[in-house]
């Protein structure tokens, strides 16, 4: 039985992306017979015991496991880490990085799942490959496109840089809250200019209400006055799914050029736009719940769109094209939703993620044994 240590977060204490992925990994690896411990990093300004008290729990043993058996423990250093075959570094908080350098053991493989990583420009990508492999024995690439770049430009590292699709709990993404009135969801633009980040959605909403006067909007974290949206707060994962993604007909990402994502704006060698460091779990989760997606070409990796031919526009400034695409989604919702959901569930469930990750770890372990 493999022993897996995940350094991440718990959704009942600190909801958000890292907690969601920590849970997907914990339950996925357990389903494949692994013994899993979720470690909550205790670093400067971050004390899991304070999170526990604020959330109303007496001990880490009282935290929900959502059908799993995994342990949950605080982690301040190597002494707190039980013997493990694999350590998954799931936290993305910069304050936790000093802990990473300490968590090394000769027999323990260190691994991490990363968002969009490479552009295809060899010099730029080479620096990132070297940085990844300095810290990790295996880097799980969340995109096939990145794996293709590795095979073409860094073939000697293809066993340590392998495609592992991100996976989510399909049973929780069932669209059970979706009503008969079309509902569109949007996230918050994490920048000083949130209005510009979601301006294309506000303009589209005004146009769509001509045909669907009861059209509803759900927005993450805050209400949007120009849309009359219902704000959905940050919640533990399953509650968040039910309050937000399971109610949607259509999910629209913000304009990443007016958010913190713009720091990753780059060009491929053939001149196409892309955003390094971007994955956007909600794109996949929404489709698993049966919602459709509409985005600008180049913003979302094409492979994450289950219906790419009808889910992209060239420019958010082309209001006619955006309206036409959104209208087609809503008018053909039942058939498109069913196909999109089937594809998303087949490609991105948490059990398949764990299976692919374990297979990649086996390769690295065998290489190490033969070295």
Six token digits for residue 294: 């509409």
The three-class DSSP label of residue 361 is: helix
- Residue 333 Cα to chain centre, angstroms: 24
pLDDT in tens, the chain (371 residues): 799 999 999 999 999 999 999 999 999 999 999 999 999 999 988 999 999 999 999 999 999 999 999 999 999 999 999 999 999 999 999 999 999 999 999 999 999 999 999 999 999 999 999 999 999 999 999 999 999 999 999 999 999 999 999 999 999 999 999 999 999 999 876 655 677 888 999 999 999 999 999 999 999 988 888 888 999 998 999 999 999 999 999 999 999 988 888 889 999 998 888 999 988 999 999 999 999 999 999 999 999 999 999 999 999 999 999 999 999 999 999 999 999 999 999 999 999 999 999 999 999 999 876 65
Within 10 angstroms of residue 112's Cβ, the number of other Cβ atoms is: 19
Contact of 12 with 72, CB cutoff 8 Å: no
Can you tell me the distance from the alpha carbon of 64 to that of 62, in angstroms, rounded to the nearest whole number? 6
CA-wise closest residue to 218 among 231, 207, 208, 205: 231
Task: Give Cα separations from 225 to 57, 192, 234, 241 (angstroms).
Answer: 36, 17, 19, 23
Can you tell me the distance from the alpha carbon of 242 to that of 253, in angstroms, rounded to the nearest whole number? 19
Put the strands of the sheet holding 230-232 in their side by side order: 230-232, 216-220, 183-186, 250-252, 292-293
Task: Give Cα separations from 227 to 186, 189, 202, 231 (angstroms).
Answer: 11, 15, 6, 11
Q: Please, where are the H alpha helices in 32-158?
A: 48-54, 97-102, 122-135, 144-153
- Residue 31 Cα to chain centre, angstroms: 20
Count Cα neighbours of 298 within 13 Å in the Cβ-side half-sphere. 19
Contact of 192 with 177, CB cutoff 8 Å: no
What is the β-pairing status of strands 86-89 and 109-114?
Answer: parallel
């Amino acid at each position: 039985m493999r022993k897996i240590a995940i350094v991440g977060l718990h959704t009942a204490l600190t909801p958000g992306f890292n907690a969601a992925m920590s849970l997907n990994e914990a339950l996925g690896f357990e389903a494949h017979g692994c013994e899993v411990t979720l470690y909550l990093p205790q670093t400067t300004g971050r004390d899991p015991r304070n999170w526990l008290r604020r959330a109303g729990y007496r001990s880490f043993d009282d935290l929900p496991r959502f059908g799993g058996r995994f342990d949950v423990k605080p982690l301040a250093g190597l002494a707190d880490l039980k013997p493990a075959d694999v350590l998954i570094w799931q936290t993305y908080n910069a304050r936790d990085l000093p802990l990473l350098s300490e968590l090394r053991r000769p027999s323990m493989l260190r691994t991490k799942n990363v968002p969009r990583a490479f552009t295809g420009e060899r010099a730029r990508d080479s620096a990132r490959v070297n940085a990844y492999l300095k810290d990790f024995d295996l880097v799980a690439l969340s995109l096939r496109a990145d794996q293709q770049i590795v095979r073409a430009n860094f073939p000697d590292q293809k066993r340590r840089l392998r495609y592992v699709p991100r996976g989510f709990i399909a049973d929780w993404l069932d669209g059970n809250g979706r009503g008969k009135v079309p509902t569109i969801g949007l996230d918050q633009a994490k920048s000083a200019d949130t209005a510009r980040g979601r301006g294309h959605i506000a303009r589209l909403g005004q146009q769509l209400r001509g045909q669907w006067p009861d059209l509803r909007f759900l927005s993450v974290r805050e209400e949007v006055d120009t849309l009359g949206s219902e704000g959905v707060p940050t919640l533990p994962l399953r509650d968040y799914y039910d309050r937000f993604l399971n109610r949607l007909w259509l999910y629209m990402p913000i304009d990443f050029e007016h958010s913190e994502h713009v720091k990753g704006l780059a060009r491929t060698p053939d001149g196409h736009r892309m955003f390094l460091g971007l994955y956007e779990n909600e794109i996949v989760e929404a489709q698993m719940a049966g919602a459709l997606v509409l985005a600008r070409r180049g913003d979302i990796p094409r492979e994450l769109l289950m219906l790419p031919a009808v889910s992209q526009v060239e420019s958010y400034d082309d209001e006619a094209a955006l309206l036409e695409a959104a209208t087609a989604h809503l008018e053909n919702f039942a058939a498109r939703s069913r196909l999109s959901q089937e594809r998303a569930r087949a490609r991105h469930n948490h059990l398949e993620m764990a299976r692919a990750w374990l297979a990649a770890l086996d390769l690295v372990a065998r290489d190490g044994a033969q070295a």
